[in-house]
């Protein structure tokens, strides 16, 4: 493209499902992207925690090319070696014994909902299974996933929602215990709520939930679509909490930018049989071949450890910004390379726009939290650069001093 990108022409043909920032991106390399006018930006959005290896990673690009030249797609009517190899990688490194592949995080959560309901019907003989999720959660946009999402703003205009869901405050054990019924089939939680404001789970709460699930044969489902694959400084966010789930949903960083999702399950709960669930594109050779390459690069380059170290650096730097701008910033929270700058007011979009003007891409997490989720390859120098640019953005938003 030559810098003549026309947003009106774009809007004429694309459904208005996003409130887009005034920026058209055309290429990237590492932790930087360039717009159609040739201006560079430091990318601390990474496709919303998706491009874990950054942009145009040479080894991932090589894997994409090689797999595309070999085989793109065949039906799941046949054995797919790349699918088996990726599943083996996940099983050997997680609590799971079995994996089902799909195309997105919403689909992974839909799969988990269906699996939990089948387990409840066939094993516990519950005719009307119920699933408890958390307020301020986010699990996707399809009907099952959006019903599971505990935010009314995502439900507006889409009633009737699916029956069998209830919502409780996050990290509130008493509220969860009060919501339990004999029909409770599963509890679906994010170890850290991303869209809900970068809110980490509390260790004691999650351990108590695990005990409840064990005592009552309730499935514990962790949605790690945004926080899995090393984002938090551990391969899995549940490692921060000292508990293991029964089902684990993944997407985003799993493919390094290629669409793929996964439902990972313990053997006991993997009750799907032929005809219960499927996905035409899920687990095809291209998606799985590229995702497996992304997983191997993640390990070979020690990017989980890098996420932990750079996350500590980022959190320290953000804390200093909070001290420097107390009238704007209320605090900082997060794990690894998912950090939230908590604002004093509902000004997240304003801060993101101000950062964009400085050449830094950030993303809101609700009205009052700015989320920083850079690629896991980010360097110490790039962290410092981002902190400097964010400081400039915050300074530009300071109210002017009126001189009498």
Picking from 6, 245, 269, the residue whose alpha carbon sits closest to that of residue 114 is 269
State yes or no: is 325 an active-site residue. no
- Region 369-373 average pLDDT: 98
Reported as a single tens digit per residue, the pLDDT across 196-245 is 999 999 999 999 999 999 999 999 999 999 999 999 999 999 999 999 99
Listing from the earlier edge strand, what are the strands of the sheet with 40-43?
25-29, 32-35, 40-43, 360-361
44, 206, 222, 252: which is the annotated catalytic residue? 252
199-208, 251-260, 369-378, 390-399: range with lowest mean pLDDT: 390-399
Cβ contacts of residue 385 below 8 Å, gap of 6+? 42
Reported as a single tens digit per residue, the pLDDT across 144-175 is 999 999 999 999 999 999 999 999 999 999 99
Residue with tokens 């929270």: 333
Domain ranges, ordered by start, for the chain? 7-56+302-396, 71-300
Residues 317, 387: contact at Cβ < 8 Å? yes
Residue 210 in tokens: 């695990």
Asked if domains 7-56+302-396 and 71-300 share a fold, the reply is: no
Looking at the domain that runs over 71-300, which CATH code has it been given? Answer: 3.40.640.10
Q: How many whole angstroms separate alpha carbon 329 and alpha carbon 401? A: 19
43, 100, 222, 223: which is the annotated catalytic residue? 223
State yes or no: is 252 an active-site residue. yes
Task: State the fold for domain 7-56+302-396.
Answer: 3.90.1150
Q: How many whole angstroms separate alpha carbon 402 and alpha carbon 307? A: 43
Q: How many whole angstroms separate alpha carbon 363 and alpha carbon 44? A: 8
State yes or no: is 138 an active-site residue. yes
User: Residue 186 has what pLDDT?
Assistant: 98
Per-residue pLDDT at 275 exceeds 80: yes
Q: How many whole angstroms separate alpha carbon 311 and alpha carbon 372? A: 10
Q: Rounded to the nearest 5 degrees, what angle is found at the Cα of 283, between the Cα atoms of 72 and 56?
A: 60
Residue with tokens 């996050």: 170
Per-residue pLDDT at 258 exceeds 50: yes
- Region 183-204 average pLDDT: 98
User: Residue 6 has what pLDDT?
Assistant: 87
Residues 252, 49: contact at Cβ < 8 Å? yes
- Region 380-390 average pLDDT: 98
44, 101, 138, 206: which is the annotated catalytic residue? 138
Summary mean pLDDT of the chain: 96
Per-residue pLDDT at 3 exceeds 70: no
């Amino acid at each position: 493209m030559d810098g003549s990108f026309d947003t009106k022409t774009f809007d004429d043909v694309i459904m208005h499902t996003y409130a887009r920032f005034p920026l058209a991106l055309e290429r990237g390399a590492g932790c930087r992207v360039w717009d159609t006018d040739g201006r560079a930006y430091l990318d601390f959005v990474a496709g919303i925690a998706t491009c874990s290896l950054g942009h145009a990673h040479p080894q991932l690009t090589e894997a994409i090319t090689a797999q595309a030249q070999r085989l793109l797609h065949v039906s799941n009517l046949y054995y797919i070696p790349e699918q088996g190899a990726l599943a083996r990688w996940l099983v050997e490194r997680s609590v799971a014994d079995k994996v089902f592949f799909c195309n997105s995080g919403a689909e992974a959560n839909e799969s988990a909902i269906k699996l939990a309901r089948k387990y409840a019907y066939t094993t516990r003989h519950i005719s009307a299974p119920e699933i408890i999720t958390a307020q301020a959660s986010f699990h996707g946009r399809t009907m099952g996933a959006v019903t599971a999402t505990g935010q009314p703003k995502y439900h507006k205009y889409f009633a009737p929602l699916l029956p069998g869901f209830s919502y409780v405050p996050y990290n509130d054990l008493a509220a969860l215990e009060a919501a339990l019924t004999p029909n409770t089939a599963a509890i679906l939680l994010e170890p850290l709520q991303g869209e809900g404001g970068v809110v980490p789970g509390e260790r004691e709460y999650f351990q108590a939930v695990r005990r409840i699930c064990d005592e009552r044969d309730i499935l514990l489902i962790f949605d790690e679509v945004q926080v899995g694959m090393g984002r938090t400084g551990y391969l899995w966010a549940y490692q921060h909490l000292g508990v293991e789930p029964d089902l684990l949903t993944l997407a985003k960083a799993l493919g390094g930018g290629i669409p793929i999702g996964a439902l990972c399950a313990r053997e006991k709960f993997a009750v799907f049989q032929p005809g219960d669930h499927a996905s035409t594109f899920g687990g095809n050779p291209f998606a799985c071949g590229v995702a497996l390459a992304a997983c191997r690069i993640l390990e070979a380059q020690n990017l989980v450890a890098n996420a932990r170290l750079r996350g500590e650096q980022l959190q320290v730097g953000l804390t200093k910004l909070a001290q420097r701008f107390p009238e704007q910033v209320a605090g900082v929270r997060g794990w690894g390379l998912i950090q939230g700058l908590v604002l004093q007011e509902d000004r997240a979009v304003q801060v993101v726009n101000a950062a964009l003007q400085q050449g830094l891409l950030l993303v809101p997490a609700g009205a009052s939290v700015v989320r920083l989720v850079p690629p896991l390859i980010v360097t110490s120098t790039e962290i410092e650069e981002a902190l400097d640019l964010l400081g400039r953005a915050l300074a530009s938003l300071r109210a002017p001093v009126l001189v009498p």
